[in-house]
């Protein structure tokens, strides 16, 4: 039986038929996988909701905006401080990242409407915190009872003379948090980006889709600034609303997490002509490649020389530690299951240490994140994806400008991933397993069948994995460690993984196959 059939073996015919489309073994160069579809009811998915993707993920890290969760308190509480997106305020920029603002809807508000309570919450936020901007994020009941949060926002904007933007990101929209990313991207583009008046400098860039979990963005910014780039804004990690207003002026957008921010990247291209480059600052070799790709775009001998100088210095500084961790980790195997981009990025970092990936999957990625953007025209829309608005973007005739000539652009596109993402699968070895929207049952089957040395995942399955005797490191929260990005982050990661593998705690727990035979079957007598 193939590995995939062994994972699917215990399912009923109907569940088997569905899940078989989401689990593949890589055998050829390209593979089709089913993704971004509804989870089978009753199955324990790791996915989150639309509100989590909008408020929790994309908007949450913007530090000087007060984001009011309009809904029952549980939703606000869920998105309060759990995601480890770090931010620093200073005397010019407020920092509300550690706060949780909510209207705390109760039954009477559901029955009689919650707009009054929302208006009161905005008033209190203005009086107590005086933020430069306010965002309102709706949770499920708000959409069900029909509160007009956009009208409330428009009225408050006039009344308090500051930006107030509402997001209809009710949890039930779409099939996962992915719909919430799209709604947040639309709101940023429609109301915020393009309203600033900063002037670009020689090497102005944006980073898109870096969330500063455990301080990742700070490490990426440290390296880029050493080279001499002017970072207009990193959306959204540790960003301020006024930086985001100027995102349209950059000469190039660097896209770290394609899944969550590709909409803004595409819209900036359509409206202002700015190209985006797929980068990956997770892993030493990936970071080096990304830095070289950026330098190729600007094509300036001085910048290229400085890039090489910084790379050489950074590599020399981490060389001994990287070699030490590599000597200890080489030959281990890993399974990765994260949201919509890290399962690809972290395979590169693991490779730097000689760790082989045998299984990787995503909670809510779309087919382009797995197979590459060339499949975009072939993705079929369904009722759930049609539910999320796609903005129609018009060219901004006044501010539209191309940094490269058409000829330069076409030539460079063949060499670096300009406005293109190749997806995860092409980068994986033959014989590896790819799973979309993996559930808890399948997690246990992967442990039983593939026996990875390390299982990188999140809080929902961490302890199931560890109780099975396998190290689990959280690739969402970094288990309260980090940064893991860039050069210094790679060393932190090597240290943490080795620490996890060698902890004496493993003496107290045994993997199931260490207690029972590894081969099951019947002995046949040969006569
Ligand atoms: Fe992008 Fe993210 Fe991810 Fe994501 Fe997330 Fe996250 Fe993630 Mo958790 S934006 S897709 S919705 S890289 S919160 S910072 S770790 S699932 S793989
Ligand atoms: C979310 C946030 C999350 C959850 C992490 C986890 C994060 O999906 O709403 O399941 O461990 O990174 O904090 O992805």
- Number of the ligand closest to the Cα of 484: 1
**Mean pLDDT along residues 301-318:** 98
CA separation for the pair 120, 123 (Å, rounded): 5
- Model pLDDT for residues 323-342, shown as the tens digit of each residue: 999 999 999 999 999 999 99
**Mean pLDDT along residues 89-99:** 96
Is it the case that residue 38 has pLDDT exceeding 80? yes
Is it the case that residue 513 has pLDDT exceeding 80? no
Is it the case that residue 300 has pLDDT exceeding 70? yes
- Model pLDDT for residues 230-241, shown as the tens digit of each residue: 999 999 999 999
Task: Look at residues 454, 457, 490, 445 and name the one whose alpha carbon lies nearest to residue 320.
Answer: 490
**Mean pLDDT along residues 181-198:** 98
For a substitution probing ligand 2, which of 458, 466, 473 has the most ligand atoms within 8 Å of its CB? 458
SS3 354: coil
As a whole-number percent, the residues of the chain with pLDDT over 90 amount to: 94
Q: Indicate which residue's Cα is closest to atom 13 of ligand 1.
A: 57
pLDDT at 410: 98
Ligand 2 geometric centre to CA of 123 (Å): 31
Q: Name the band, by pLDDT with cuts 50, 70 and 90, for residue 527.
A: low
Report the side by side order of strands in the sheet with 275-278: 230-236, 204-210, 252-255, 275-278
Ligand 1 geometric centre to CA of 417 (Å): 21
pLDDT at 511: 72
Ligand 1 geometric centre to CA of 337 (Å): 11
3-state secondary structure 52-93: HHHHHHHHCCCCCEEEEEECCHHHHHHCCCCCCECCCCCCCC
Task: At 366, list the tokens.
Answer: 């779309």
pLDDT at 22: 98
Q: For all residues of the chain together, what is the average pLDDT? A: 96
Determine if ligand 1 sits within 6 Å of the CB of residue 473.
Answer: no
pLDDT at 29: 65
Determine if ligand 1 sits within 6 Å of the CB of residue 180.
Answer: no
Residue environment code for 469-479, b if the CB has 16+ CB neighbours within 10 A, otherwise e = bbbbbbbbbbb
Is 49 a residue of the active site? yes
Q: Name the band, by pLDDT with cuts 50, 70 and 90, for residue 518.
A: low
Residue for token digits 């583009």? 189
DSSP state of 97: T
Is it the case that residue 515 has pLDDT exceeding 90? no
pLDDT at 30: 64
Is it the case that residue 283 has pLDDT exceeding 90? yes
Is 38 a residue of the active site? no
Whole-complex ipTM: 0.98
Is it the case that residue 369 has pLDDT exceeding 90? yes
pLDDT at 514: 74
pLDDT at 510: 75
Of the candidate CATH numbers 3.40.50.2300, 3.40.50.11740, 3.40.50.150, 3.40.50.1980, the domain formed by 50-191 belongs to 3.40.50.1980
pLDDT at 437: 98
- Model pLDDT for residues 120-169, shown as the tens digit of each residue: 999 999 999 999 999 999 999 999 999 999 999 999 999 999 999 999 99
- Model pLDDT for residues 413-468, shown as the tens digit of each residue: 999 999 999 999 999 999 999 999 999 999 999 999 999 999 999 999 999 999 99
Strands 133-138 and 230-236: unpaired
Q: Name the band, by pLDDT with cuts 50, 70 and 90, for residue 179.
A: very high
Is it the case that residue 517 has pLDDT exceeding 80? no
């Amino acid at each position: 039986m193939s590995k995939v059939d062994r994972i699917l073996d215990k399912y009923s015919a109907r569940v088997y038929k569905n899940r078989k489309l989401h689990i593949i073994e890589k055998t050829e160069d390209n593979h089709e996988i089913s993704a971004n579809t509804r989870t089978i009811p009753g199955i324990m998915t790791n996915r989150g909701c639309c509100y989590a993707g909008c408020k929790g993920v994309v908007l949450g890290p913007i530090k000087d905006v007060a984001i009011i969760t309009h809904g029952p308190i549980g939703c606000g509480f869920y998105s309060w401080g759990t995601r480890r997106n770090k931010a620093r305020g200073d005397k010019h920029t407020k920092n509300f990242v550690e706060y949780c603002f909510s209207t705390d809807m109760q039954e009477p508000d559901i029955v009689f409407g919650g707009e009054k309570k929302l208006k009161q919450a905005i008033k209190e936020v203005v009086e107590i915190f005086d933020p430069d901007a306010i965002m309102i994020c709706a949770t499920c009941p708000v959409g069900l009872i029909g509160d007009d949060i956009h009208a409330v926002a428009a009225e408050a904007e006039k009344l308090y003379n500051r930006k107030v933007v509402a997001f209809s990101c009710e949890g039930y929209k779409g099939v996962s948090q992915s719909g919430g990313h799209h709604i947040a991207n639309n709101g940023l583009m429609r109301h915020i980006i393009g309203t600033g008046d900063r002037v670009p400098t020689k090497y102005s860039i944006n980073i898109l889709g870096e969330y500063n979990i455990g301080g990742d963005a700070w490490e990426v910014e440290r390296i880029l600034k050493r080279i001499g780039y002017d970072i207009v804004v990193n959306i959204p990690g540790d960003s301020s609303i006024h930086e985001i207003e100027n995102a349209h002026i950059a000469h190039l957008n660097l896209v770290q997490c394609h899944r969550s921010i590709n909409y803004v990247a595409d819209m900036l291209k359509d409206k202002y002509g700015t190209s985006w480059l797929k980068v990956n600052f997770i892993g030493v070799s990936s970071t080096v490649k990304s830095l070289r790709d950026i330098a190729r775009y600007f094509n300036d001998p001085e910048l290229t020389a400085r890039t090489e100088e910084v790379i050489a210095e950074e590599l020399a500084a981490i060389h001994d530690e990287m070699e030490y961790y590599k000597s200890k980790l080489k030959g281990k195997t890993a399974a990765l299951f994260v949201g919509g981009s890290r399962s690809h990025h972290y395979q590169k970092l693991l490779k730097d240490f000689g760790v082989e990936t045998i299984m990787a999957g995503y909670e809510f990625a779309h087919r382009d994140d797995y197979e590459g953007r060339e499949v975009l025209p072939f993705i079929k829309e369904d009722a759930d994806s049609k539910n999320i608005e796609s903005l129609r973007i018009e060219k901004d005739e006044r501010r539209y400008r191309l940094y490269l000539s058409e000829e330069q652009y076409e030539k460079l596109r063949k060499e670096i991933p300009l406005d293109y993402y190749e997806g995860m699968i092409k980068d994986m070895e033959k014989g590896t397993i790819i799973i979309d929207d993996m559930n808890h049952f399948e997690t246990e089957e992967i442990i039983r069948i593939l026996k990875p040395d390390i299982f990188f995942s999140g809080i929902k399955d961490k302890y199931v994995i560890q109780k099975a005797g396998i190290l689990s490191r959280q690739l969402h929260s970094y288990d309260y460690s980090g940064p893991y990005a860039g050069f210094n982050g790679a060393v932190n990661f090597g240290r943490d993984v080795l620490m996890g593998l060698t902890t004496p705690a493993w003496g107290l727990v045994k993997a199931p196959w260490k207690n029972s035979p590894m081969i099951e079957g019947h002995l046949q007598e040969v006569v």
